[in-house]
A and B are shown apart, each in its own frame.
Chain A
Amino acid sequence: MFVYLFAIIGCAQSPSAEQTLGRYLELSDAGRHQQFGEILAGEAMDAAMQANQILEELELIQSGQTEFFDLEQTGDNSWSFCLDVSNTKIFDKSGSDLTPTNRPGQLPMTMTLESFGSSKKITELEIRRLQGC
């Protein structure tokens, strides 16, 4: 029994960068900021909570899904990717479309993942300037 449990624990892998990022976007799109702590920490957490606070204060609603592509590992803990928000819209509570007209649809970004015990969390999420998607 002990051996069996040990084998299960030993085989349990922390989620990949792709899974972590995918999970974050899923939670963000759903506005489930209560669960951000599972996958975010540090500056990434602060930025995500700040954006969420703006949405709540202005009673704005996000529809559609954010996606990512071209995920590449660029360092021990860092990855680059393109964030695609072109399929999302922002509405106010009366249903008016307030999606910013000058919003970039695809953003070149970088993320840093750090280990917290057995899990990995996104600690930094930043724009890569002078680079495109």
Chain B
Amino acid sequence: MLIETIIFSCSAAGAVLGGCNDSCETTIGASEVVICADQGGQSSESEKTETNNPGLPWSPPPPWILCQQYVSGGVEIPTFGKIWVKVREGSRPCLEQKPYIPIPSPPSSTSKTVEVVNIESVQEIFRTSPSVPFAYVQPAERYYDEQFVFRVKRVSQVKSGELFGEPVSVRFIPRGATWSFGKSGFEVSHIFGEKGDFSANAAVTFQVDYKPLGESWVVDAGSISVSSNSLLVTALPLPRETRLVG
């Protein structure tokens, strides 16, 4: 199963509003897997109603500001991404801060608002592809009417990374190989039938499993085909027959 690159409808005005960002989801493309996770944004902090302590004079709280932090939630440990968080001024250290400008609310509360009100959410992306499968041939030189044996290594690969400090993994399991001369299999024999130099490689199809952030493995989510290294073989002309006359 190959997921198309097209993901969702958009419009010119939607793009202007910033509502046409790539959706943050896992995509299996023709040659790579992209796992996306997002964190933060406007909705991460909800306003709390403060309870007034009787007898204490009430003073207005500091104004809201937008405070930039690392996605780790502070300013001490640098991480790949940064996030803007709406906080009360002075309540926590910030890498940068800027005034919070409230956006007018729509008459009715709908999910559409999120697209516009979303001040800044941070996405981290883990992209990975299978390593090039290793192919080899024995022997590399042979008479053209003899068999060459082509092999490509059938090795599963696991690629791991981190999104927001949490592990994510993609597993590539080789399921099939098709050689450029038309035969299929991880080990095939081939007779070229004519002399000359020939190149060959195998397109190995991998089953893709992935483990997204905080979830269990998704098995057989798609497949990716990767070409092996190219092999050069020489099909030699047949030796001349020597006849003794006399």
Interfacial residues, chain A to chain B (CB-CB below 8 A):
24-25, 28-29, 43-44, 46-48, 50-55, 57-60, 62, 66, 83, 85, 88, 90, 92-93, 96, 98-104, 107, 109-110, 124-131
Encoded as 1 (CB less than 8 Å from any A CB) or 0, chain B from 16 to 35 comes to 11111110000101001010
Measured between alpha carbons, how far is A109 from B197 in the docked complex, in Å? 44
> Could you say which residues of chain A place their CB within 8 Å of the CB of B115?
54
Measured between alpha carbons, how far is A127 from B8 in the docked complex, in Å? 6
Measured between alpha carbons, how far is A102 from B12 in the docked complex, in Å? 16
> Could you say which residues of chain A place their CB within 8 Å of the CB of B17?
51, 54-55, 60, 90, 100, 103
The 3 closest A-B pairs by CB, nearest first: A100-B18, A103-B18, A51-B13
Instruction: Evaluate contact between B34 and A130: CB separation under 8 angstroms.
Output: yes
Within 26-71 of B, Cβ neighbours of A (below 8 Å) are at: 27, 29, 32, 34
> Could you say which residues of chain B place their CB within 8 Å of the CB of A98?
101, 103, 116
Q: Quick one: closest A residue to B19, CB to CB?
A: A51
Chain B contact residues, majority secondary structure: loop
Nearest-CB distance from B9 to chain A (Å)?
A: 4
Within 163-191 of B, Cβ neighbours of A (below 8 Å) are at: none
Contact partner of A107 (CB less than 8 A), chosen from B20, B113, B120, is B20
Contact partner of A102 (CB less than 8 A), chosen from B18, B106, B116, is B18
> Could you say which residues of chain B place their CB within 8 Å of the CB of A99?
18
Q: Quick one: closest B residue to A45, CB to CB?
A: B11
Within 65-98 of B, Cβ neighbours of A (below 8 Å) are at: none
Measured between alpha carbons, how far is A53 from B11 in the docked complex, in Å? 12
Nearest-CB distance from A82 to chain B (Å)?
A: 11
Known: A54-B115, A58-B106, A60-B116. A125 touches B16 (CB 8 A): no
> Could you say which residues of chain A place their CB within 8 Å of the CB of B16?
51, 62, 66, 85, 88, 90, 103
Instruction: Evaluate contact between B11 and A47: CB separation under 8 angstroms.
Output: yes
Measured between alpha carbons, how far is A106 from B36 in the docked complex, in Å? 20
Encoded as 1 (CB less than 8 Å from any A CB) or 0, chain B from 102 to 133 comes to 01111110001101101111000000000000
Instruction: Evaluate contact between A51 and B11: CB separation under 8 angstroms.
Output: yes
Chain A contact residues, majority secondary structure: mixed
Measured between alpha carbons, how far is A87 from B108 in the docked complex, in Å? 30
> Could you say which residues of chain A place their CB within 8 Å of the CB of B14?
47-48, 50-51
Measured between alpha carbons, how far is A58 from B14 in the docked complex, in Å? 14
> Could you say which residues of chain A place their CB within 8 Å of the CB of B11?
28, 44, 47-48, 50-51, 125
Q: Quick one: closest A residue to B120, CB to CB?
A: A102
> Could you say which residues of chain A place their CB within 8 Å of the CB of B8?
126-127
Whether B5 sits at the interface, judged by CB under 8 Å, is: yes
Known: A98-B101, A100-B17, A102-B120. A83 touches B12 (CB 8 A): yes
Whether B10 sits at the interface, judged by CB under 8 Å, is: yes
> Could you say which residues of chain A place their CB within 8 Å of the CB of B107?
57
Instruction: Evaluate contact between A127 and B6: CB separation under 8 angstroms.
Output: yes
Nearest-CB distance from B41 to chain A (Å)?
A: 10
Measured between alpha carbons, how far is A96 from B101 in the docked complex, in Å? 8
Nearest-CB distance from B24 to chain A (Å)?
A: 11
> Could you say which residues of chain A place their CB within 8 Å of the CB of B22?
127, 129
Whether B244 sits at the interface, judged by CB under 8 Å, is: no
Instruction: Evaluate contact between B12 and A66: CB separation under 8 angstroms.
Output: yes
Instruction: Evaluate contact between A100 and B9: CB separation under 8 angstroms.
Output: no
